Amino acid sequence: MSRTEEAFNALTADLSGRPLGRIIRGSLLEGIEARLDDDVTVEDVRVGRFVVVDGARNRFFSAVHNVKLANTNEDVLLRPPDDGFVQEVLRGTNTYATIDLRPKLLIAHGEDGVRPVKTIPPHFATVREASDADVATVFGAEGPTSLPIGKPLEMSSDVCINLERFVERSNAVFGKTGTGKSFLTRMLLAGIIKADLASVLVFDMHNEYGMWSEDEETKRKAPALKEIFGQKVLIFSVDPASSRRRSVTPDYEVQIALSDIEVDDLVLLRSELNLADAQVRDMETLAERWGTKSWLQRLLQAQADGSLDDEVESIPGVHAQSVKALARNLQKVARKEFVKESVTDHSADRMLKALLERRHVVIEFGGKTDFLSYMLVSSIVTRRIHERWREEKEKASADGRLGHPPQLVITLEEAHKFLSPEAAHQTIFGTIAREMRKYNVTLLVVDQRPSGIDAEIASQLGTRVIGALDDERDQSSVLEGVPDARALRVLLNNLEPKKQVLLGGYALPMPIVVEVRDYYDFAKATRRAAGERKRDVDLWER
Amino acid sequence: MNRLGEIVEASTTRLRAVAPQTFEGPAFGSFVKTSDGSRTTYGVVAHVEHVSIDPSRRAIPLGRTWEELRREQPQVLELLTTEFEACCVAFAEQDGALCAYLPPVPPRVHDFVEACTPAEIVDLTEDLSFIRTLGATGIPIVTELIAAAIRSAAGHHHDQRVYLVRAGREVADLFRQDYELASSIIRRIRVSDGQKARR
């Protein structure tokens, strides 16, 4: 066979499940090792590649976790041959390459369903590149409740996320800036909305989920949820002026009454408001005395008309000076435009109503990209949801005739602010991440600094979508509580930013690296399926 | 028929033959065969020598060129003989397939030795087991013998480079424990990448 023929054969073999090598050693605990066939160039085998191993009774599915060089004789390393011919001769005899595999699933020959592995393939079992049929067997085909999110490396078959399982638990999208987190998150949310599996609430700090978002690199406008789903999605704006500047017509303006703000909301903002421990205790005392609904208003009023000293004089354990400082700090909250003395239209109530009716809410923060506004609104709304869903669920459990509240997915950007080890135990978000699954509420955590998230909460995340991460701590914390974290870390280290993500967890049969599908195609198809009329077609459907 | 010699000694592993014309023996490392009518034994030429026909009388220096010798003392050529040895590597029964291992009985003395045809060489060397057989002969210059045999076989194969790589791997595999030995053979059969493969 001439070299051209060889090259041609190698090329055509790439289209099917070409054999890569044979199993030579391994264990269930440590993973298995295969020796590459001599005609397979080590440089062609990429970490993350999806492969199958054909045992006598089962077909095993795995990703390539490592590629290694090996030699049979130490002498060859002392004097490495510099001649191309000699190198070629020694390849496969004195020198060879191996790959590390960790089979996760198997399918018995002649059966349908995949199962977790409890054994390993025998010696010399053939390792092949997985075919598209293999991918379809493991990761399912597109269906009403399964979302194709991308394709395994160098393959053309879809990897689907099981959305029914996805919405059942809190999940996360991680990745450093510019890895396409918001595109992925939008895709997941659109999938959920399309499948009608849950109501979706998005705290949209950077205005990326309502109408449009802009691709930072290409400056191309990407359609967001409202643009895709129309009236099923409501936009609430914290900063209507900014919305108008971006030609977005919000459905509602967010208005928060002072009476809506509770001590817990402010505790979350401790660092933003510079609150000392003593001041937190003061707030709790005042709330107890003056009522949880009216303490803040009364405090600010007293501060304004100079009657604060008299007001707090009679309260034991509270010092006037400390309370004055507290009131000054809390002015920062009261001065926010969306915080009103009293409101006629309670935004939180509207949102809850919409969400209970299985509609979807995006809260845009417009130009208000300060954490104070973002966290305050998020906390107040989420706390209300927590109360309401819990109530509805308990009612439904007590009375079988009543329906359960709909599944709700709360999308939280910059999640480490809410779920830091300090905040996680005090705030409503920690509670939701830990236990609200029982009440049909889950979080979709979107963050670029996963190491800032409380370890216990991180370990409870159901499904993770992980883009490239540079920081060591971030890399180890995204895999917190995941079996085989060390092996997955290798895959994580080799992700191509913006293109590839590592998927794993509850909604997927096994962890896998995929090339993410094109968002514009996805949005176009989803909108067509949702029956939304084309409006700004020429803006993005090119 | 290209007669290379007549067998004067034979065993199951080796044969010794005398060439019909002095100085016209086969090449070292070339493939030869001998047939007794029912079985053909194949071998690789492992040793070629020009000696006096009388073992007790060595040739002595005469101080003349061969041209002068032919003219003045033509009997000198008659006193010399060319002998060669071949290592047996395979055999075939009449109308049978080629067996790439030693024959059950030695070739007969006085049978003639001939060169193998290119087709026979390809058949004989395709599966590379001759390399192992030669490796096991224990002769002192085994590296040279194996390298010469591979070189002489490679020219008859479709893609010389591919064949040399395969053969080299067989060598590397055979002498796994002795990298020096293996690499000395491999260096003796290497082709430079620029060299055009002979068809």
Q: Could you report the predicted ipTM of this complex, rounded to two decimals?
A: 0.80
Cα–Cα–Cα angle for A58, A15, A101, rounded to 5 degrees: 40
**Cα of A404 vs its chain's centroid, Å:** 26
Q: Residue type for A138, please?
A: V
Please determine, for residue A538, whether its predicted confidence score (pLDDT) is greater than 50: no
Scanning A66-105 for CB atoms below 8 A from B yields 72-73, 75-76, 81, 83-86, 88-90, 92-94
Cβ atoms of B121 and B107 within 8 Å: the answer is: no
**E strands of chain B, at which residues?**
3-10, 14-18, 31-35, 39-52, 80-93, 98-99, 112-115
> If DSSP states are collapsed to H, E and C, what string results for A214-265?
ECCCCCCEEECHHHHHHHHEEEEECCHHHHHHCCCCCCEECCEEHHHCCHHH
Average pLDDT over residues A94-106: 91
**Cα A418 to Cα A452: distance, rounded to the nearest angstrom:** 10
User: Helix and strand tally (H, E) in chain A?
Assistant: 23, 24
B62 close to B72: Cβ distance less than 8 angstroms: no
User: At a CB cut-off of 8 Å and minimum separation 6, what does A83 contact?
Assistant: B187, B190
Cβ distance of A73 and B179 shorter than 8 Å? yes
Helices and strands (H and E) in chain B: how many: 7, 7
In angstroms, rounded to a whole number, what is the distance separating the alpha carbons of residues A72 and B109? 45
- At residue A235's C-alpha, the angle toward residues A233 and A240, to 5°, is 165
CB A81 within 8 A of CB A165: no
Res A9 pLDDT > 50: no
- Sequence letter at residue B53: I
The CA distance from A222 to A210, in Å, is 11
CA-to-CA dists, residue A397 to A168, A392, A394, B64, angstroms: 18, 9, 5, 121
User: Taking 80 as the threshold, does the pLDDT of residue A430 lie above it?
Assistant: yes
Rounded distance, CA A397 to CA A185, Å?
32
Task: For residues A319 and A294, give the distance between their C-alpha atoms in angstroms, rounded to a whole number.
Answer: 20
| Mean of per-residue pLDDT scores for chain B | 90
Banded model confidence at residue B192, pLDDT cuts 50, 70, 90: low
- Distance (Å) of CA B40 to CA A233, A245, B95, B174: 89, 97, 10, 27
The percent of residues in chain B predicted with pLDDT above 70, rounded, is 95
Identify whether the C-beta of residue B157 lies closer than 8 Å to the C-beta of residue B118.
no
C-beta of residue A60 within 8 angstroms of C-beta of residue A52: yes
pLDDT in tens, B28-77: 999 999 999 899 999 999 999 999 999 898 888 999 999 999 999 888 88
User: Are residues A73 and B159, on separate chains, in Cβ contact within 8 Å?
Assistant: no
Per-residue pLDDT, B81:
94
CB atoms within 10 A of CB B186: 30
Q: Which residues of A touch B177 (CB under 8 A)?
A: 73
pLDDT for res B194: 52
Q: Do A86 and B193 touch (CB under 8 A)?
A: no
Q: Cα A254 to chain center, whole Å?
A: 26
Task: Give B-chain residues touching A85 at CB under 8 angstroms.
Answer: 161, 164-165, 168, 186, 190-193
Phi, psi torsion values for A119, nearest 5 degrees:
-150, 180
Nearest-angstrom CA–CA distance, A57 and A89: 35
Tens-digit pLDDT profile for residues B85-113: 999 999 999 888 899 999 999 999 999 99
| Identity of the residue in B173, B180, B193 whose CB atom sits nearest the CB atom of A93 | B173
**What is the pTM assigned to this prediction?**
0.76
The reply to whether residue A73 touches residue B177, judged by beta carbons under 8 angstroms, is: yes
**Mutual angle of helices A277-290 and A295-305, in 10-degree steps:** 100
Which among A37, A73, A93, A96 is the top mutation candidate for probing chain B, defined by the most B β-carbons within 10 Å of its own β-carbon?
A93
Summarised one tens digit per residue, pLDDT across range A328-340 is 889 888 888 889 8
pLDDT(A456) > 90: no
User: pLDDT tens for residues A13-49?
Assistant: 444 588 999 999 999 988 999 999 988 888 888 888 8
Residue A535 predicted with pLDDT over 70: no
Contact residues, chain A, for B192 at CB < 8 Å: 85
